[in-house]
């Protein structure tokens, strides 16, 4: 549903994100985890067509976000960070405005407004000016507008930031219920939050993808492993199997399955197995195209992510 390949965005000389690639499958909830300033919002703005990337491509439901921008945008429901809303309109008027911008007819708008107001439990505030709502309720209006047109893809940027703990729990369960019908891509800087909601997590740090895994594997993996990225031209499964047999290797993850697979090899810390990995590849007659330790220590990121949990999970 979402295919991102080699996205890079420069602001002047500063690379906000570099070579970011990942995929989100239909009906899946993917968490986009990273410390503040890691490039989450930039990535999301590119995915929604708000900011053009410096290079790389992104496809939403098969439509290129730059070349077929309008089509792609039709399939997206987006909630920016601290959802910016018009303050001088009522909830119903606002939703109806958003609906008409998304090409919904009057009847469908009426019906869907009823649905999403129920879904986000905004019944009492239908005719309240948005400016008078509390932060938590505004956040709900943000969610409501994002699902209003029943988009295939939901992009939610830090949906639980700045609201009180009880509302955080509610928002999380609300988002969890949205999966299935929608493909959800949600960003957060809180590890436990992502583990609760998401089926798969992509970790971004300083503009680069640092890891990609299921949340239950993440915390153990993040705690102690040196990660090596290996690019090999060869039969995917066999390569992975051979790499796994190398001494000191804990696990091998295949990222970007397809034509150019990339293997992330996790080694027991302090055990530099790069030489052994290279030997295995070459001895088997495959072509070794790249071998490097992945930039920063995952442990460090993990610490930053967990120490910022402000709310009881």
Partner 1 sequence: MNNIRAIALKEMKTYFASPVAYVVSVVFLTITGYFFGTGLAGPFPEATLRGFFLQGSFILVIIAPLLTMRLLAEEAKLGTLELLLTNPVRDWEVVLGKYLASLAIFAAMLALTLYYPLVLFWFGDPDIGPIITGYLGYLLLGASTLAIGLLASSFTSNQIVSAVVAFGILLALWLIQQGGTLIGEPVAGVLQYLSLPFHFTDFVFGVIDTLNVIYYLSLIMLFVFITIRSLEARRWR
Q: Contact residues for partner 1 (CB under 8 A)?
A: 45, 48-52, 70-71, 73-74, 76, 78, 80, 82-89, 93, 97-98, 100-103, 145
Annotate 44-81 with DSSP letters as a single string: HHHHTTSS--SEEEEEETTEETTTTHHHHHHTEEEE-T
Cβ at position 85, least distance to partner 1 in Å: 7
Give the nearer residue to partner 1 in terms of CB position, either 98 or 265: 98
> Would you say 116 and 81 are in contact if contact means Cβ atoms under 8 Å apart?
no
Give the nearer residue to partner 1 in terms of CB position, either 36 or 86: 86
Report which of 254, 305, 310 is spatially closest to residue 35, judged by C-alpha positions.
Answer: 305
Cβ at position 15, least distance to partner 1 in Å: 16
Give the nearer residue to partner 1 in terms of CB position, either 85 or 230: 85
Give the nearer residue to partner 1 in terms of CB position, either 50 or 286: 50
| Beta-strand pair 287-293/226-233 | antiparallel
CA angle 288, 294, 298 (to 5 degrees): 150
Give the nearer residue to partner 1 in terms of CB position, either 74 or 262: 74
Buried/exposed 19-28: b ≥16 CB within 10 Å, e otherwise: ebbbbbeeeb
91-101 and 106-119 helices, crossing angle to 10°: 130
Cβ at position 17, least distance to partner 1 in Å: 16
Cβ at position 70, least distance to partner 1 in Å: 5
- Half-sphere CA count of 265, side-chain side, radius 13 A: 29
Rounded distance between C-alpha atoms, residue 169 and residue 19, angstroms = 34
Give the nearer residue to partner 1 in terms of CB position, either 88 or 309: 88
Cβ at position 295, least distance to partner 1 in Å: 28
> Would you say 183 and 62 are in contact if contact means Cβ atoms under 8 Å apart?
no
> Would you say 20 and 8 are in contact if contact means Cβ atoms under 8 Å apart?
yes
Tokens in use for 283? 């001895």
Cβ at position 248, least distance to partner 1 in Å: 47
Give the nearer residue to partner 1 in terms of CB position, either 97 or 286: 97
Cβ at position 231, least distance to partner 1 in Å: 33
């Amino acid at each position: 549903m979402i295919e991102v390949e080699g996205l890079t965005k420069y602001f002047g000389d500063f690379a906000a994100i570099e070579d970011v690639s990942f995929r989100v499958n239909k009906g899946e909830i993917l968490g986009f985890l990273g410390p503040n300033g890691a490039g989450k919002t930039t990535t999301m703005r590119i995915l929604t067509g708000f900011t053009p990337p410096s290079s790389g491509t992104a496809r939403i439901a098969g439509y290129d976000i730059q070349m077929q921008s309008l089509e792609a945008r039709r399939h997206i429901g987006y909630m920016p960070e601290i959802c910016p809303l018009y303050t001088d309109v009522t909830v119903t008027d606002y939703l109806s405005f958003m609906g008409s911008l998304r090409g919904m007819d009057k009847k469908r708008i009426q019906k869907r407004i009823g649905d999403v107001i129920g879904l986000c439990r905004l019944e009492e505030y239908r005719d309240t000016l948005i400016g008078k709502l509390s932060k938590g309720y505004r956040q709900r209006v943000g969610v409501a507008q994002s699902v209003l047109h029943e988009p295939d893809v939901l992009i939610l940027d830090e949906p639980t930031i700045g609201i009180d703990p009880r509302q955080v729990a509610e928002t999380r369960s609300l988002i969890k219920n949205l999966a299935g019908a929608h493909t959800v891509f949600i960003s957060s800087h809180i590890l436990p939050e992502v583990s609760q909601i998401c089926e798969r997590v992509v970790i971004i740090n300083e503009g680069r993808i640092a890891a990609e895994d299921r949340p239950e594997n993440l915390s153990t993996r993040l705690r102690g492993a040196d990660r090596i990225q290996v690019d090999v031209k060869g039969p995917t499964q066999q390569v992975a199997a051979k790499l796994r047999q190398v001494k000191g290797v804990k696990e091998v993850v295949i990222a970007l399955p397809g034509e150019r697979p990339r293997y992330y090899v996790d080694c027991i810390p302090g055990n530099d197995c790069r030489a052994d990995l290279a030997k295995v590849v070459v001895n088997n007659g495959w072509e070794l195209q790249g071998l490097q330790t992945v930039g920063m220590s995952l442990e460090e990121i993990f610490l930053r992510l967990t120490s910022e949990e402000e709310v009881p999970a």
